[in-house]
Chains A and B, each alone.
Chain A
């Protein structure tokens, strides 16, 4: 009798499924890699530029386009603040409408539909439409970010409202409280910490997004960055990238700190 040897149990128990999946993956990889059209000569030339850019990261140039950079960042920050506030103000009624325990079915469906649309498209796609409507500039960016913020904040807030304990609501209704009074004294105290936390999180996201929607003309530092790349000004581009990283880290830290305090 031969010695029995332990083998690790496979991840997928059914051998037919296991081999089928493996075969499918291999076939897909061959097809996918086969359809890549890579201009290797261009890539080889590019490596030099890559090295130049990597070197530029250590010699960022903040000053020669200083005015443009400052303008771009101020615009990004202004867009972030205004759009988050606007999104927050508009998201609250949508969230109340999208909470099944507060709203009748037709209102619920309309609000949920709006949230679904707002969340399905990338900010930059919405930005293209707003730029076409409102013209180039930061206002289109504000509209974009506010629109995206509504869906984001309203969805999380609505989930929070739906998860709340029904007893306080019942108690307030039993004392004869109106719908607004129910919202103010029953719902608001429960969801306020969460609302502040979600808004902080969205502020953080909006800044990151404000750094890219400039690529399609919606204002912010993205436009400055795009121009720097177009002109092959590596030092300026490196400076902008480093500033973006610094601000993102700072805002992530601050927003995490505030959310930690609220918990």
Chain B
């Protein structure tokens, strides 16, 4: 117990002097890093622009209102593309991520050394790169368009779905597996009859959850040329047509809320 002695009397203290010093050093380090970071940012900022930010903001708001309602007619096709990017991208990811999850799960991975680490590596690499960066890469490779968007969404989703699915597989009950194996089932039959029924609710939940996220992400992929409503957004921002921009924002908001509602309903139904 940390005790200090004042006037020969022992007094209780909350921390030892060393712990107090360490805590102070920790706070000092945090504040120092923040101060350096702030200075770094400040040097790269044109403060003249910042001082008139309130008037700029008010101006922006004035230009955004009212939204350009007539513009909606031209947004249905991009919106349809956005939905397709998200949905087809999710489907493609499911097709690839499901076998990957079986390879990555400790209890279903084939007895081949190196396969499981490889599957985990694919999952981690896919997860750590944002879909917008994948889109940037794919637009460069495949050219602008919806196809780049679909593949970008799929590449990012593989890691997400794969990770959650392999965790679900690892958490599945071992008893049905044992029972099925005892009937003389092959490894493939074991997976199909013992594991698949157990992870089906998780599978449905994860897919719909990722689909919901993908709808959000698909709305912005167009910023780098990968199709969908983001293309219109970028075009409107570039010509400073803020009334159109706010119209697109409203449409994106409505789409996101709708997909969130669908996803919440489906997840409530399967769990």
Residues of A within 8 A of B (CB): 11, 28, 32-33, 35-39, 42-43, 45-47, 49-50, 53, 74-75, 77-79, 81-82, 85, 120-122, 124-125, 128-129, 132-135, 137-139, 142, 208-209, 211-212, 215-216, 219, 222, 225-226, 229, 232, 237, 241, 244-245, 248-249, 252
Contact = CB atoms under 8 A, between A and B. Distances in A.
A249 B53 CA distance: 36
27 contacts: A32-B88, A35-B81, A36-B84, A37-B146, A39-B145, A43-B142, A46-B143, A50-B141, A78-B37, A78-B40, A79-B37, A81-B33, A82-B37, A82-B41, A85-B34, A125-B252, A132-B60, A137-B46, A138-B45, A142-B41, A225-B133, A229-B140, A244-B128, A244-B129, A245-B125, A249-B124, A249-B128
B229 to A, nearest CB: 11
B216 to A, nearest CB: 6
A139 B50 contact: yes
Contacts of A43: 142-143, 147
B4 interface: no
A120 B257 contact: yes
Nearest to B87: A32
A74 B40 contact: yes
A238 to B, nearest CB: 10
Interface string B190-224: 00000000001000000000000000110110011
A249 B256 CA distance: 29
Q: Which 3 A-B pairs have the closest CB atoms?
A: A135-B49, A78-B37, A42-B143
B132 interface: yes
A42, A133, A137 — most chain B CB neighbours (10 Å) = A133
Interface of B: 33-34, 36-38, 40-42, 44-46, 49-50, 53, 56-57, 60, 80-81, 83-84, 87-88, 124-125, 128-130, 132-133, 136-137, 140-143, 145-147, 150, 200, 216-217, 219-220, 223-224, 233, 237, 245, 249, 252-253, 256-257
Contacts of B140: 46, 49, 53, 229, 232
B147 A82 contact: no
Given A39-B143, A137-B45, A124 B37 contact: no
Nearest to A143: B53
Contacts of A47: 141
Given A120-B257, A142-B41, A215-B132, A133 B216 contact: no
B46 A135 contact: yes
Contacts of A129: 60
Nearest to A50: B141
A137 to B, nearest CB: 5
A208 B159 CA distance: 15
A83 to B, nearest CB: 9
A85 B35 CA distance: 11
Given A38-B146, A122-B220, A134-B53, 20 more contacts: A32-B83, A32-B84, A43-B143, A46-B140, A53-B137, A75-B41, A78-B40, A81-B34, A81-B37, A124-B220, A133-B56, A133-B60, A137-B46, A138-B41, A208-B130, A219-B44, A226-B224, A229-B140, A244-B133, A245-B128
Contacts of A216: 223
Contact of B146 (A36, A45, A50, A120): A36
Contacts of B219: 122
Most buried by A among B141, B216, B233: B141
Contacts of A237: 137
Contacts of A135: 45-46, 49-50
A11 B200 contact: yes
B168 to A, nearest CB: 17
A252 B145 CA distance: 32
A248 B143 contact: no
Contacts of A225: 133, 136
A229 B124 CA distance: 23
B41 A139 contact: yes
A11, A36, A237 pick with most chain B CB within 10 angstroms: A36
Nearest to A74: B40
Contacts of B38: 78, 82
B224 A215 contact: yes
A134 B48 CA distance: 9
B84 to A, nearest CB: 4
B215 to A, nearest CB: 11
A139 B57 CA distance: 15
Given A36-B146, A128-B237, A133 B37 contact: no
Contact of A241 (B33, B45, B133, B146): B133
Contacts of A222: 133
Given A75-B40, A120-B253, A134-B50, A125 B60 contact: no
